[in-house]
Amino acid sequence: MELGLFVPLTTWQPGGAFLERLGPEIEQRGFESVWVPEHVVLFDDYASPYPYSDDGKLPAPPEAGMVEPFTALTYLAAVTETVRLGTGICLLPQRNPIYTAKVVADLDWLSGGRVDLGVGVGWLKEEFDALQVPWEARGKRADEYLQILKTLWTDDVSSFDGDVYPLAPVRMYPKPAQQPHPPIHIGGESDAALRRAARHGNGWYGFNRSPEQVDEGLARLEKFLADEGRSRADVQVSICPYFQGLTPDMVKAYADRGVNRIISLLIAIQPDDIPSALDALVPCLEAAQRA
């Protein structure tokens, strides 16, 4: 089993100095990957319920902001050699799919094939409104965009006959270093998200799930995989416990359920906070290496 880190990057951290310390410290200890979230804008007031808190609110003030994920991961790529670079998650249907395919391919090419693309359809309608992207049918848009990403990454000449986003023949280079393309991990807990993972994904990114809560999600995923003629062996399962914490016993419980990767929340503000925050997770890392 692998142990990665979920690291929200905000204006609270001191920019590049934080990432310059974070990347090498992660690699020195043997953590497998680092995953960063995405919100391009936040709001003082919003009606959309955040699905991972009791009060329905994102646990950060809007002025905290979030660093754009591919910018952050490109910076991390430059100060690391082996750690994998993941989005947890990229809000695919509110982005232009060609630009998304381009930045992912370029980052994978520049990093020597280290990108994991986690995608979801989002929860914050106000963000879609600010971007003037329709909130409705975002699931269908995500399904088409995933197919567009794949043709841009794998075909010499790429095109797509879509209802939402038809793409005339184009060429996009460089292609990703990973073949046939960087792994796609579908985030979300709904049936629609799990069906999307079964149909289009190389993995499922489950969020805020304890080991016991993983069972129910995996049962649904396996049903949808069977509907697509696939099996659990065809997808990686990555689980972020989020604020539920992580212990070595939890690591074993996740492993017993067939989870391939745990993505543990890492909270650190200053560069000097990073070593102790990582050291606190070393027992979990050792448990994952034994699993």
* The predicted structure's pLDDT at residue 261: 98
Cβ atoms of residues 239 and 258 within 8 Å: no
Beta partners for residue 85, in sequence order: 34, 115
- As beta bridge partners, residue 120 has 91
CB 50 within 8 A of CB 167: no
Q: What is the pLDDT of residues 257-267, one digit of tens each?
A: 999 999 999 99
Pair of tokens at residue 48: 């959309």
CB atoms within 10 A of CB 290: 11
Question: What band does 248 get if pLDDT is binned at 50, 70 and 90?
Answer: very high
User: Are residues 172 and 101 in contact, defined by beta-carbon separation less than 8 angstroms?
Assistant: yes
Q: The domain 2-290 is classified under which CATH number: 3.20.20.70, 1.20.1250.20, 3.20.20.30, 3.30.1330.20?
A: 3.20.20.30
pLDDT tens track for 261-289: 999 999 999 999 999 999 999 999 999 99
Categorize the per-residue pLDDT at 212 as very low, low, confident or very high, splitting at 50, 70 and 90: very high
pLDDT at 288: 97
How crowded is residue 125: how many other Cβ atoms within 10 Å of its Cβ? 14
In angstroms, the first-to-last Cα distance of the chain is 6
- Can you tell me the distance from the alpha carbon of 273 to that of 265, in angstroms, rounded to the nearest whole number? 14
Q: Which two tokens stand for residue 30?
A: 């043997």
Which residues contact residue 173 at a Cβ distance below 8 angstroms, ignoring those fewer than 6 apart?
none
179 pLDDT band, cuts 50/70/90, is very high
Q: What is the pLDDT of residue 135?
A: 97
Output the pLDDT for position 94: 97
Mean pLDDT value of segment 182-200: 97
pLDDT, mean of residues 56-67: 94
Kindly state the average pLDDT of the residues 34-44.
97
Please report the pLDDT score of residue 27 as a whole number: 97
